[in-house]
Structure 1
Amino acid sequence: MLLSRLATLVTALGLSTLAHAAPTHYPLTVENCGSTLTFEQAPSRAVTIGQAGTEMLFALGLGNTLVGTSLWFNEVLAQYKTANDPIPRLADNEPSFEAVIGKRPQLVAVELEWMVGPQGVVGTREQFHELQIPTYLMPSDCEAKDNLVGADGTRLEAFRIDSIYKSISQLAEIFDVQERGRQLNDELKASLARSVATVQDKDLKHTSALFWFSSASLDIDPYVAGHKGIPDFMLNTLGVRNVVQSDEEWPTVGWETIAKANPTFLVIARMDRRRFPADDHLKKLAFLRSDPVTRNMDAVKNNRIIILDAMAMQASVRMFDGLATLASAIDGYDLPK
């Protein structure tokens, strides 16, 4: 199974490198998550609501267009720190509608629909569009997903990696850097293929895992990854089973239920955000090793705990580094048969 997935990935990568992207012709019309966006020229001023979009624009070489960022889980990737330092951070979490429009953006790139959407905490798309400010919503959070059900939405279909490539291609087209978009997608596809190759010789048919993002309080049920979201895609790509079966993006599940499922290893989020106590990965580790339920789980007793940046659990360029870290850790385990 892993060999066939690897072959498919390599074939897709080889075919994509044969093509060269054409320059953008304006006016450009882009269909995005139920909205039609029209650009008369490449935007010169952009605001991001979500770190995934921020780092995606940096990866496309478009940091000079950013006039404001918001919604950060981790510090910016080291290679983008110099470019990021002078850009105003409008908010660590959600910015106000006024703060965003005050930057006079020609594009607002949005990672999560609950930020800008029908019940957006920042505003609705219509509010922005009435001011002639186009909002680009990441397809990974709107396609085959109902964001009105569950705290972070519910997946109607499994997350597809193509949605990240689509974001990159569309943003590259909007900003007229299509060749860089093609190159970036090829780099990410190659990284994914290397991760699959890392574990292709491992027997993982009895291996399972749990992704723990955070908890509103350490003494209540944790937010864990559902079985159709981004972390589940990461596990499936490597041939590992997610012990959580909920369609919600980040459902809460009791530790007694998790302990009964007894995942082979745990993946916990490291973040710089401090909205909840469990945002601190060191507090997660201390809890797992001291709680009478969790400390007896095989993954805890055998120290099979993998730490990933929170952004590596999102539909972002960081996800590919997270997948590589995950594959390397799994490859190093002496797993039970």
Structure 2
Amino acid sequence: MIRSILLLGLALLLASPGAFAEATQYPLTVQSCNRQVTFTKAPEHALSHDINMTQMMLALGLRSRMVGYSGVSGWKAVTPQLRKQLAGLPELAAKYPSVETLLNANVDFLFAGWDYGMRVGGDLTPQSLAPLGIPVYELTESCAFVMKRPAASLDDTYTDLRNLGRIFDVQDRAEQLVGQMQERVAVVQQHLPAQRPRVFLYDSGEDRAMTSGRLGMPEALIAAAGGRNVLDDIEASWTRVNWESVVERNPEVIVIVDYGEVSAAQKQAFLEQHPALQSVAAIRNKRFVVIPYVAATPSLENVEAIETIAASLHGA
């Protein structure tokens, strides 16, 4: 009997993802967008930019390897849970860090993305930091700004977690987080009907709407929740569109991203009162869903966004 129990326990351990993941062998080379980045050891003075990437680092248990984070208080609303996790961890820049900021903090690793702290031709890029000995890992979803790639997918988030796990030698924790996300998504998708309501994501903007095409994470979230992004034919990540385009595509549900100085309630009121949108089904039927910024961008909160959107779309 005891032997059977021991064999069962061993079988369960062997079946667990990452239960016996090999330790990272340095030097380690990982793919980052259209580059390969080599690490001679696990970083010890890491900086993460934006709340979503900072959340990933913290969830992987890497707080002790971080000198701080950037790009949060100047832009985003932080949930009470994340505020507790951030307590005591320095924010090196409220919006965009400079090269000098990184050098002064002795940063040896930057986790950022294109349009998430970096811009093509800007001062802070993998190319500008390489001569300074600061390797950069780019958020996978953001690679659409510098290379041709397929539509955004939850695999983008899984890839980032796994690559961070390898870089910092915490593969077991990375696999555990990925497994938990996959299990929750599977539960949602077991109950989805065949009908896919038309969905428009509204980030911000009045003259034009800031939204997301097929290359941004909202595309993956809406699809996984059983909806169809009305802008899924636009080869863009985060982008702006005219209100005429929204009216023509007539979304049945509008997802509002909650962050910044304008509240979600204020954004909804603006949409409801916009003269050009009165014929839109979502406006007529007052069908709105609100998700926080951290859930709309690649992060662990992607699963919660899928659950929230699916519940609104299908009443699940």
8 Å CA contact 1:155–1:248 kept in 2: the answer is no
Amino acid at match of 2:40: E
Contact 2:109-2:134 at 8 Å conserved across structures: yes
Give distance in 1, aligned partners of 2:83 and 2:211.
30
Matched residue of 2:295: which SS?
helix
Distance 1:35 1:117, change over 3 A: farther
Structure 1 pair 155–230 and aligned structure 2 pair: CA distance change class (3 A): farther
Shift, 1:184, TM fit: 0.8
Written as runs of structure 1 = structure 2, the 5 A alignment for 1:182-331 is: 182-197=175-190, 199-200=191-192, 202-205=193-196, 207-215=197-205, 218=206, 220-244=207-231, 245-271=233-259, 273-274=260-261, 279-331=262-314
- Give me the whole-angstrom Cα distance separating, in 2, the residues matched to 1:229 and 1:183: 25
Decide whether aligned partners of structure 1 residues 155 and 77 sit closer, same or farther in structure 2, where only a CA change above 3 A counts: farther
Match of 1:165 among 150, 153, 158: 158
User: TM-score, normalized by length of structure 1?
Assistant: 0.81
Q: Aligned-pair RMSD on alpha carbons?
A: 2.4
Contact 1:269 1:308 in 2 (8 A): yes
- How many residue pairs end up in the alignment? 300
Cα deviation, residue 112, structure 1: 2.5
Q: Deviations over 1:1-50 (max 9, x none)?
A: xxxxxxxxxxxxx9873763221122323232333333332212111122
SS in 1 for 2:26: coil
Alignment of 1:71-90 (within 5 A): 71-72=71-72, 73-90=75-92
SS class of match (1:158): coil
The separation in 2 between residues aligned to 1:167 and 1:99, in whole angstroms, is 24
8 Å Cα contact 2:68-2:90 kept in structure 1: yes
Q: Secondary structure at the match of 2:240?
A: coil
Deviates more, 1:279-288 or 1:68-77: 68-77
Deviation at 1:139, TM superposition (A): 2.0
1:326 aligned counterpart, secondary structure: helix
2-side partners of 1:18 and 1:169: how far apart? 11
Tell me the amino acid that sits aligned with residue 35 of structure 2. S
| Deviation string, structure 1 residues 289-316 (Cα, Å, up to 9, x no partner) | 2122224422122221001112222122
Residues 113/16 of structure 1: CA separation in 2 closer, same or farther (3 Å cut): farther
Contact 1:49 1:110 in 2 (8 A): yes
Counterpart secondary structure, 1:111: strand
* TM-score, reference length from structure 2: 0.86
Distance change >3 Å, CA 75–CA 291, structure 1 → 2: closer
- CA distance, structure 2, for counterparts of residue 175 and residue 166 of structure 1: 14
Distance, in Å, in 2 between the alignment partners of 1:114 and 1:45 is 20
Partner of 1:180: 173
Structure 1 counterpart of 2:96: 94
Query: Do 1:265 and 1:299's aligned partners in 2 also have CA atoms closer than 8 Å?
Result: yes
- Structure 1 residue runs of 5 or longer lacking an equivalent are 1-13, 148-153
Q: Equivalent residue for 2:139?
A: 138
Identity percentage over the alignment? 27
What's the CA shift string for 1:200-230, capped at 9, x where partnerless?
A: 2x3424x211001111xx2x11112213421
- Answer whether contact 2:247 2:277 (CA < 8 A) is retained: yes
Task: Name the CA shift for 1:34/1:208 in 2 (closer, same or farther; >3 Å).
Answer: closer
Aligned partners of 1:227 and 1:170: how far apart in 2?
23
SS in 1 for 2:37: strand
SS in 2 for 1:231: helix
Task: Give the C-alpha shift of residue 89 in structure 1.
Answer: 1.3
Report the CA distance between 1:322 and its aligned residue. 0.8
Deviations 1:270-289, CA, capped at 9 Å, x for gaps: 00x33xxxx43222111112
Query: Which residues of structure 2 form unaligned runs of 5+?
Result: 1-13
Equivalent positions of 1:12-23 (< 5 A) are 17=17, 20-23=20-23
1:108 deviates by 0.8
